[in-house]
Amino acid sequence: MPAAAPLLLPGLLTTVGALLWPWLQPNPAHTLLAIGALALIALAVGERVLGWAATWAAALCLGLTAPGLRAPGPLLDGPVQLRGEVVELRGGRAILQVSHLGATPVTGPVELRGAGEPKVGDRLSIRGEARPLLREALPGEPDPARDDLLRGLRSAVYAQSTVTLGPRPGPAAPDPFEHATHRGLLRALALGDRSGLDEDTTALLRRTGTTHLVSVSGLHFVMIAAMASGLVTALLRPLSLLRPRGGLNRLAPLAGLGALLAFGELVGWPIPAVRAGWMTAGVVAGRATARGANPWNLLGLAALVMVLSEPSAARSVSAWLSFGAVVGMLTVGAKLSRMLPPDLPWLTRTLLGALTTTLGATAGTLPVSVWIFQELSLSAPLANLVGIPLTSAFATPGALLALGGGGLVPLAIADGACEATILWLRLVDAPVAHPAGGVVCAALLALACLCARRHGLAGALALCSLLRIIPSDGLHVTFYAIGQGDAALVRLPGYTALIDAGPPGDDVLRALRRAGVRELDELWVSHPHPDHMGGAQAVVEGLKVGALRIARPPLAEEDSFQALWRAAALAGTPARDLRHPPGHPALTLLHPRPGERFKEVNDESITLLLRHGAHSLLFPGDVEAEAEAALLAVWDEQGLGPVTALKVAHHGSRTSSDPALLARLQPILAIFSCGVYNRFGHPHPDVLRRYAGTLQHRTDRQGTLELRSDGETMWRRSHLPGRGFSVWSALPPATGR
Nearest to 317 by CA among 369, 357, 390: 369
Same domain membership, residue 642 and residue 545: yes
Same domain membership, residue 159 and residue 221: no
Q: How confident is residue 219, by pLDDT bands cut at 50, 70 and 90? A: low
CA torsion angle 508 510 513 519 (round to 10): 50
Non-local CB neighbours of 729 within 8 Å, separated by 6+ positions: 715, 716, 717
- Between 222 and 35, the more confident residue is 35
Non-local CB neighbours of 581 within 8 Å, separated by 6+ positions: 589
Percent of the chain, pLDDT > 70? 90
pLDDT at 217: 66
User: Is the pLDDT at 622 greater than 70, yes or no?
Assistant: yes
Of 203-207, 227-231, 236-240, least confident by mean pLDDT is 236-240
Same domain membership, residue 282 and residue 264: yes
Same domain membership, residue 82 and residue 19: no
Please indicate, yes or no, if residue 200 is contained in any of the structural domains: no
Give 113's strand partners.
Answer: 158
Q: Residue 105 class from Cβ within 10 Å (0-12 exposed, 13-18 middle, 19+ buried)?
A: exposed
158: domain CATH number? 2.40.50.320
pLDDT at 31: 81
User: Is the pLDDT at 406 greater than 90, yes or no?
Assistant: no
Same domain membership, residue 598 and residue 540: yes
Q: Is 169 helix (H, G, I), strand (E, B) or coil?
A: coil
Same domain membership, residue 513 and residue 489: yes
Percent of the chain, pLDDT > 90? 48
Please indicate, yes or no, if residue 361 is contained in any of the structural domains: no
Q: Is 724 helix (H, G, I), strand (E, B) or coil?
A: strand
Give the tens place of pLDDT for each residue, 275-302: 777 777 776 666 655 566 788 988 888 8
Q: What is the mean pLDDT of residues 382-407?
A: 82
Contact by Cβ (8 Å): 208, 380: yes
Give the tens place of pLDDT for each residue, 245-255: 545 556 677 77
Please indicate, yes or no, if residue 137 is contained in any of the structural domains: yes
**How many domains does one find in the chain?**
4
Strand blocks (E) in 544-628: 544-545, 548-549, 575-576, 587-591, 607-612, 615-619
- Give the per-residue SS3 of 47-65: CCHHHHHHHHHHHHHHHHH
pLDDT at 391: 84
User: Is the pLDDT at 39 greater than 90, yes or no?
Assistant: no
Same domain membership, residue 253 and residue 109: no
Same domain membership, residue 133 and residue 108: yes
* Phi, psi (deg, nearest 5) at residue 531: -75, -10
Non-local CB neighbours of 435 within 8 Å, separated by 6+ positions: 366, 369, 370, 374, 376
CB atoms within 10 A of CB 331: 20
Highest mean pLDDT among 266-275, 341-350, 436-445, 614-623: 614-623
Give 671's strand partners.
Answer: 647, 697
Q: How confident is residue 171, by pLDDT bands cut at 50, 70 and 90? A: low
Look up residue 136 and give its amino acid.
E
pLDDT at 501: 97
Contact by Cβ (8 Å): 677, 711: no
pLDDT at 626: 93
Q: How confident is residue 462, by pLDDT bands cut at 50, 70 and 90? A: confident
Give the tens place of pLDDT for each residue, 299-346: 888 888 889 888 888 998 888 988 898 899 899 988 998 888 888 888
Give the tens place of pLDDT for each residue, 549-594: 999 999 989 999 999 999 999 999 999 999 999 999 999 999 998 8
- Between 274 and 145, the more confident residue is 145
Same domain membership, residue 122 and residue 39: no
pLDDT at 474: 92
Please indicate, yes or no, if residue 420 is contained in any of the structural domains: no
pLDDT at 456: 86
- Between 416 and 31, the more confident residue is 416
Nearest to 219 by CA among 297, 302, 326, 318: 326
Pick from 144, 164, 184: which residue ends a domain?
164
Of 43-57, 111-125, 618-632, least confident by mean pLDDT is 43-57
DSSP 442-463: HHHHHHHHHTTTSHHHHHHHHH
pLDDT at 75: 92
Please indicate, yes or no, if residue 462 is contained in any of the structural domains: no
Q: How confident is residue 509, by pLDDT bands cut at 50, 70 and 90? A: very high
Nearest to 164 by CA among 109, 104, 117: 117
pLDDT at 1: 46
Nearest to 368 by CA among 312, 320, 333, 322: 320
C-alpha angle 679-684-686 in degrees, rounded to nearest 5:
160
Give the tens place of pLDDT for each residue, 695-728: 999 999 999 999 999 999 999 999 999 899 999 9
Q: Which domain holds residue 40?
A: 8-69
Same domain membership, residue 581 and residue 498: yes
DSSP 248-266: GGGHHHHHHHHHHHHHHHH
Give 159's strand partners.
Answer: 128
User: Is the pLDDT at 402 greater than 90, yes or no?
Assistant: no
User: Is the pLDDT at 225 greater than 80, yes or no?
Assistant: no
Q: What is the mean pLDDT of residues 94-115?
A: 91
Same domain membership, residue 638 and residue 574: yes
- What are the contacts of 74-78 at 24+ separation with CB within 8 A? 74/98, 74/101, 74/106, 74/108, 74/110, 74/154, 74/155, 75/132, 75/154, 75/155, 76/101, 76/110, 76/130, 76/131, 76/132, 76/154, 76/155, 76/157, 77/130, 77/131, 77/132, 77/155, 78/129, 78/130
- Between 243 and 662, the more confident residue is 662
pLDDT at 418: 93
Same domain membership, residue 141 and residue 48: no
d(CA 435, CA 513): 8
Please indicate, yes or no, if residue 389 is contained in any of the structural domains: no
Pick from 315, 350, 383: which residue ends a domain?
315
Please indicate, yes or no, if residue 370 is contained in any of the structural domains: no
DSSP 287-356: HHHT----HHHHHHHHHHHHHHH-GGGGG-HHHHHHHHHHHHIIIIIHHHHHTS-TT--HHHHHHHHHHH
Pick from 270, 288, 315: which residue ends a domain?
315
Please indicate, yes or no, if residue 46 is contained in any of the structural domains: yes
DSSP 64-116: HHGGGGSPPPP---EEEEEEEEEEEEETTEEEEEEEEETTEEEEEEEEEES--
